[in-house]
Amino acid sequence: MNYSQLHFFPMGISDLDQLMAIELYSFPTPWKRGMYEHDLTENTHSRFYVIKRADTDELAAYIGSWFIADEVHIGTIATKREYRGWRLAEQLVAYTALQGLNEGMSYIILEVRVNNKPAIRLYERLGFERVGMRKGYYTDTGEDAILMTCGELETLALRLLIEEA
């Protein structure tokens, strides 16, 4: 694993072709391209970041969140197949926590499918706590969501291993 070739960038419209390919195999009901375009161009609360290889501009992973009041709300996160196991999702959460600290945020909140055991384990390892359940939250499958939160943004930010470009 060579983290020195991986860098964080704000997500841009030019990332969407690669992102949509990852989105399609990562989620039962992927977001529509227009949803990303709207958040990237119209939504002042959105903070979307990508990890790319510096040498090839290949998109390895991404995260989408919204910074509202003092809350970071993570809405999406995914890693390209070839990079799964590299802890990039952890790095994206840490990077988002750092950005949240820089903008005065107090905590992170997210929903995760009850059957997404790898993601639940990741969030719990990062210090997220289960604080509730959203019944039937995922309209595509009717699946419930676990509501998780973490107020330790400083601790999360200390997990960063990848350099910001």
Question: Catalytic site residues?
Answer: 111, 123
Cα gap 73→149, rounded to integer Å: 9
Tokens of 133: 């359940």
Cα gap 76→111, rounded to integer Å: 9
Cα gap 5→7, rounded to integer Å: 7
143-150 vs 107-113, strand pairing mode: antiparallel
Say if CB 94 and CB 77 are below 8 A apart. no
Instruction: Output the CA angle 84-160-5, nearest 5 degrees.
Output: 60
